[in-house]
Amino acid sequence: MIRQNNTNSKKAIFSSNKKWEELIADKDFVNVFVSDVLETYIQKQRWYGGKSSKLKYIELSEYFRIQKEDQVYFGLILEVNFVEAFYHHYFLPIAFVSDKNATKESRILPIELKNKEGFIIDAMHLESFRKVVYQRISSALSVDKTPVQYHKTEGFEFPKYESSKFIGVEQSNTSVIYNDTFIIKFFRRIYANKNPDYEMSRFLSDKKDFKNTPPYLGSINIIDSENTNITIALMQKLVTNQGDAWAYCLKELHNIYKSINNKNIDFKDLPDVEIFKRKKISELPNQILDWVGLNLFNKVQLLAQRTAEMHIALGSEFEETAFTPTHFNGDYTVWLKNRLTYQFENRLNLTENNLHKLEGYSLELAKEFLESKNEIRKRIVSFDWTKLKGERIRIHGDYHLGQILVQEDDFCILDFEGEPESTIRDRKVKQPPLKDVAGLFRSFHYAIYSTIFNNHEQYKKNKQELFNYGELLYKYMVSVFLETYRSTTQDANLSIGYTNERVYLLKYCLLEKAIYELGYELNSRPKWTVIPLKGISNILNI
């Protein structure tokens, strides 16, 4: 069976007379494998989301078999419990291979089975596993009497399997490209429910024929022991692109900042614009166009149109209750206030405990944030649903430039999983579509400040002067976006409220987004806290 040294060391020697396909049913093996091996292994993986918490223990919650002839793979559902009294679930497919077939990055455990030496590995790295997955989805065939369910979009015929390429570069998921044509995303952190990315992608491309998201092609779900439907993977068409909108925007902004010196642009000569004041590109002042040019504004305008069209598709359903538009009410208000109050108090404590890491303008803004805590609390709890006439719909939920691909003269929107910090239930709550708009505006703000931080020595201005140019540019980008977004949604009768309501919701959602961002920056990049802190300051001073 399993030989373990007397000190219960994690260097236990594993060997067994069992066959690979019998091993996972051996409780003694599983207990040692999970506690002595997987606890160490998963904490080193990029997709592990508990790095800021203290792991308590791991249990094998469920497992299922994927088999084709003599090829046997196991899908493990691991429950990771934390000292802070919460837990995550993760999906890990495993296989047993000989030494020569085990790449270094795939290895989990060296083991000897039936006199065969080899490794238990992450099966994602194994082409034979990836091929079985492709073939099962392409035939939409559930076999082996397992709880695994495969689905493919109606009417689509997959070509024969040719090749697969493991990517594995994402933070929370793992992707595989098939035949250089399709991409499957395996969800590593999973939830006892259908994944929002699966729901939204299938709804938009399958039911609403929304052209600016990767077409849904198939998926893998499992039915667990409690009869809960859990999404394991999502397959889509691989769309050609020139990178994401974040990288595109940084390049454009860098050129715009360089032109300050090249064109001798004096800040005092640039006309101001009221924040949220809608403007067509044809209405922009000549001084602004001379400095910025048309390219960025044209892209912002197109992005506004595609965002509006996404929301129009999401708000046009009247049969499937998960996507039916609904009005604001008291239950939503209680949920929103409780959620944001908790988040705000967390950020408040973080800021107080990390003031020593801040300096200069960041420190100045942090002190302003702390001094404004009562005003912020008041804004959070003053949300009054009775004055809102617009509708709530399912939204993207984590909408920013990094979730948008640039395709020649168009955009493709992807990754509908929602805010990483939110529960699966919260991600599916219907929200004002302007929350997505606010997320994109915060991304504009980030792109401007990121450009300054990364290149300020090239611009021959001090940082505060560069911030001033950036804040002005941000307001014009917002103005152009809102003009197109409002007109497009209005033409389609998507109810987002009248002008005062839209401005109120934008301010509320921008405050919420900036508070959310503050936690990440304080924990990861204290020098960048100036960005969310400036965003909060802007809202408080409108």
Sequence-distant (≥ 6) Cβ neighbours of residue 163 within 8 angstroms: 178, 179, 180
Model confidence pLDDT, tens digit, residues 334-387:
999 999 999 999 999 999 999 999 999 999 999 999 999 999 999 999 999 999
Residue 212 CA to residue 204 CA, distance in Å, equals: 9
Are 481 and 437 contacting, i.e. CB atoms less than 8 angstroms apart?
A: yes
Length of the chain: 542
Residue 460 pLDDT:
85
Residue 433 CA to residue 440 CA, distance in Å, equals: 11
Sequence-distant (≥ 6) Cβ neighbours of residue 195 within 8 angstroms: 187, 231, 234, 417, 424
Of 441, 313, 324, the residue nearest 392 (C-alpha):
324
Residue ranges covered by each domain of the chain: 15-122, 129-237, 255-265+274-405+434-540
Residue 8 pLDDT:
42
Percent of the chain residues past pLDDT 90, beyond the cut: 76
Model confidence pLDDT, tens digit, residues 517-534:
999 899 889 989 999 999
Residue 69: pLDDT band (50, 70, 90) is confident
Residue 12: pLDDT band (50, 70, 90) is very low
Angle, CA 154 vertex, CA 153 and CA 156 arms, to 5° = 75
Residue 223 pLDDT:
86
Are 362 and 526 contacting, i.e. CB atoms less than 8 angstroms apart?
A: yes
Q: Is the pLDDT of residue 13 over 60?
A: no
Q: Which residues pair with 77 in a beta bridge?
A: 62, 91
Residue 17 pLDDT:
76
Q: In this structure, which amino acid lies at residue 97? A: V
Fold topology of 129-237: Phosphorylase Kinase; domain 1 (3.30.200)
Residue 143: pLDDT band (50, 70, 90) is low
Average pLDDT, integer, range 438-460: 94
Residue 393 CA to residue 411 CA, distance in Å, equals: 22
Q: Is the pLDDT of residue 46 over 80?
A: yes
Q: 229 φ, ψ to 5°?
A: -85, 115
Q: Which residues pair with 149 in a beta bridge?
A: 221
Percent of the chain residues past pLDDT 70, beyond the cut: 95
Residue 141 pLDDT:
64
Residue 129 CA to residue 176 CA, distance in Å, equals: 11
Sequence-distant (≥ 6) Cβ neighbours of residue 374 within 8 angstroms: none
| DSSP-derived secondary structure for 69-125 | TTEEEEEEEEEEEETTS-EEEEEEEEEEEEGGG--GGGEEEEEEETTEEEEEEEGGG
Q: Find how far residue 89's CA is from the centre of its chain.
A: 17
| Helices assigned H by DSSP within 329-428 | 330-353, 360-371, 373-381, 424-427
Instruction: Please report the beta strands in 188-336, taking only residues with DSSP state E, as ranges in sequence order.
Output: 189-190, 216-223, 229-237, 326-327
Residue 1: pLDDT band (50, 70, 90) is very low
Classify strands 410-413 and 404-407 as parallel, antiparallel or unpaired. antiparallel
The string over 326-341, giving b where at least 16 C-beta atoms fall within 10 Å of a residue's C-beta and e elsewhere, is: eebeeebbeebeebbe
Residue 380 CA to residue 335 CA, distance in Å, equals: 12
Kindly tell me the burial class for residue 353, based on how many C-beta atoms sit within 10 Å of its own C-beta (0-12, 13-18, 19 or more). exposed
The total of other beta-carbon atoms located within 10 Å of residue 86's CB is 11
Residue 147 pLDDT:
84
Residue 67 pLDDT:
87
Provide the mean pLDDT of the chain: 91
Model-level pTM? 0.91
Q: Is the pLDDT of residue 148 over 60?
A: yes
**477 dihedral zone (left: phi>0; alpha: psi -120 to 50; beta):** alpha
Q: In this structure, which amino acid lies at residue 158? A: F
Model confidence pLDDT, tens digit, residues 484-495:
999 999 999 999
Residue 116: pLDDT band (50, 70, 90) is confident
Tokens 């611009």: give the residue. Answer: 459
Are 81 and 58 contacting, i.e. CB atoms less than 8 angstroms apart?
A: yes
Q: Which of 100-109, 308-317, 395-404, 532-541 has the lowest mean pLDDT?
A: 100-109
Sequence-distant (≥ 6) Cβ neighbours of residue 531 within 8 angstroms: 445, 446, 449, 517, 521
| DSSP-derived secondary structure for 122-184 | EGGG-HHHHHHHHHHHHHT---TT-SEEEEE-TT--PPPP--EEE---SSSEEEEEETTTEEE
Are 351 and 365 contacting, i.e. CB atoms less than 8 angstroms apart?
A: no
Residue 145: pLDDT band (50, 70, 90) is low
Q: Find how far residue 511's CA is from the centre of its chain.
A: 19
Model confidence pLDDT, tens digit, residues 158-210:
999 999 998 866 677 899 999 999 999 999 999 888 899 999 999 999 899 99
Q: Which residues pair with 413 in a beta bridge?
A: 404
CATH of domain 255-265+274-405+434-540: 3.90.1200.10
Long-range contacts (CB closer than 8 Å, 24 or more residues apart) made by 323-328: 323/203, 323/393, 323/394, 325/391, 325/392, 325/393, 325/430, 325/495, 326/391, 326/392, 326/393, 326/430, 327/388, 327/391, 327/392, 328/385, 328/388, 328/390, 328/392, 328/432
